[in-house]
Amino acid sequence: MRKAEQGTRPKVFYVGADAAALTPELQASGEGYLWAERPAAEVDLVRMVAAAGARDDDRALTRTVYDVPREPRPWGWKVAGYLWTKSVAAGALLVAALGVLSGGQPTGWLLGQAAPLLALVFVLATTALLVLDLKRPERFLYVLFKPNLRSWLVWGAFILLAYGAVAGLWLLAALADDATLVRILALPALPLAAATAGYSAFLFGQAEGRDFWQSPLLLPQLLVGAEVAGAAALLVVAFFARVNVEELWWLGVTMASALALQAIVLVAELSTGHANADAARAARLISRGPWRTPFWAGVVAAGTVLPIVLVWPNPYSAVLGALLALVGLWIYEDLWLKAGQALPLS
């Protein structure tokens, strides 16, 4: 059976089949078939994986002589965009709730109005991307009215609804100058923001065939990424709204601290041991393979190290660092999504 160690379903057994015919890592990564040509998109993916050393053809016991055409990466830019917009949505109210509970001004412009409004806008963008990526977008209402409670897509929709409701109430309370209600709403906002950022770890975890997405570090990565995105987005908005320097400084320090944590998580994710060979090969595609330049230049240098440095000189440089951090987060979400789908399942 395929990926039996992952508990995949349905439980299909191949009676009398050779294991090499069912295990992708034991098959040579040919660019063509015996009596047919492989689709160009699949050929490009095979070349990329081979160039990165993510396949070991020395271990190959069989060669694929024919197969059905398939989409190399079923999940594309809309899913990467959904992860990014969700990080901004969750992070905006996460950072604001931490600020309010730490003694910040609950009904001030930044924490009382800008943060929940930013959260609402990006929750709507997240929902739109999620619906558009469905093969039958018009059936999205089935998720709400005929839910499969074993699916994290369903639980994610419920979490987004609850989070959006709290963000809306927060905004209304701030506009009514009700500081007490905002402080009360900050308490459920924290776990809901964390759930909004983190439920995707369990959603991708249900894609049992993709070993790279089963990492235990995915949940902390999403939570820290949300804090980076929220602080960075609020820093950009606050700068153009000309809020006081103390608030800009607080947002900059929050972003820099979250970026340092994110760097630790990324190093652990890509450099330490992995659960199996396929997860290790997918990680190599990012750190040492064809995507090493956007990763090291875009994510590490420009998206992590430089923003931390730019926080300290002045608010102008801190805003530039915030924009770079948001771009770096987008690049990593895209690379992470592509790497998980790069290795064949069959």
pLDDT in tens, 308-338: 999 988 888 899 999 999 999 999 999 988 8
Which of 171, 206, 241 is a domain's end point? 206
Residues 174 and 148 in one domain: yes
Confidence at residue 179, expressed as pLDDT on a 0 to 100 scale: 93
Q: Report residue 50's pLDDT band, with 50, 70 and 90 as the boundaries.
A: low
More confident residue, 149 or 295: 295
More confident residue, 208 or 161: 161
Q: Report yes or no on 30 lying in a domain.
A: yes
Other beta carbons within 10 Å of 269: 21
**Spatial distance between the Cα atoms of 321 and 25, rounded to a whole number of angstroms:** 41
**Spatial distance between the Cα atoms of 113 and 231, rounded to a whole number of angstroms:** 15
Residue 151, domain CATH: 1.20.1630.10
Confidence at residue 226, expressed as pLDDT on a 0 to 100 scale: 96
Q: Report yes or no on 120 lying in a domain.
A: yes
Q: Is 180 exposed, middle or buried (0-12, 13-18, 19+ CB in 10 A)?
A: exposed
Which of 206, 226, 253 is a domain's end point? 206
Residues 85 and 156 in one domain: yes
The average confidence (pLDDT) of the chain is 83
Percentage of the chain lying above the pLDDT 70 cut: 75
Span 106-110, mean pLDDT?
88
Q: Report residue 52's pLDDT band, with 50, 70 and 90 as the boundaries.
A: low
Q: Report residue 1's pLDDT band, with 50, 70 and 90 as the boundaries.
A: very low
| Position 215 pLDDT exceeds 50 | yes
More confident residue, 153 or 141: 153
| Position 12 pLDDT exceeds 70 | no
| Position 124 pLDDT exceeds 80 | yes
Residues 98 and 55 in one domain: no
Per-residue DSSP letters for 19-82? HHHH-GGGEE--SB-SSSBPPHHHHHHHHHHHHTT-S-GGG--EE--------S-SS-HHHHHH
Residues 26 and 100 in one domain: no
* Domain count along the chain: 2
Residues 105 and 190 in one domain: yes
Confidence at residue 39, expressed as pLDDT on a 0 to 100 scale: 64
Residues 114 and 37 in one domain: no
Confidence at residue 286, expressed as pLDDT on a 0 to 100 scale: 87
Which of 63, 92, 109 is a domain's end point? 63
Residues 59 and 87 in one domain: no
Confidence at residue 101, expressed as pLDDT on a 0 to 100 scale: 92
The answer to whether the CB of 193 falls within 8 A of the CB of 97 is: yes
Stretch among 98-107, 252-261, 284-293 having the lowest mean pLDDT:
284-293
| Position 88 pLDDT exceeds 60 | yes
| Enclosing domain of residue 19 | 4-63
